Amino acid sequence: MIKLDQFLKLVGITATGGQAKLMIIDGEIKVNGTIETRRGRKLEPNDQVTVAGKTFNVGDVI
């Protein structure tokens, strides 16, 4: 498992945890099609994260 903010850094969406936090709080991130506002949300390999219209399969990254 990986936390949402860590995942955003891992895939290169953000450079810092602070940037990830702001994107998450602003409602810019969807997990499995639903806006996620918890940066500590734990992601499973079968989850999908969508940012700015681009979708990442968590299992393909971790």
CATH number assigned to the domain comprising residue 25? 3.10.290.10
What is the mean predicted confidence (pLDDT) over 14-30?
96
The helix/strand/coil state of 54 is strand
pLDDT at position 33: 98
pLDDT at position 62: 81
pLDDT at position 25: 96
Length of the chain: 62
Contact of 40 with 4, CB cutoff 8 Å: yes
Q: How many domains does the chain have?
A: 1
Q: 29 has which bridge partners?
A: 51
Longest Cα–Cα distance in the chain: 26
Q: Which domain holds residue 40?
A: 2-60
Q: What is the pLDDT of residues 24-54, one digit of tens each?
A: 999 999 999 999 999 899 999 999 999 999 9
In the predicted structure, residue 58 carries a pLDDT above the cut 90: yes
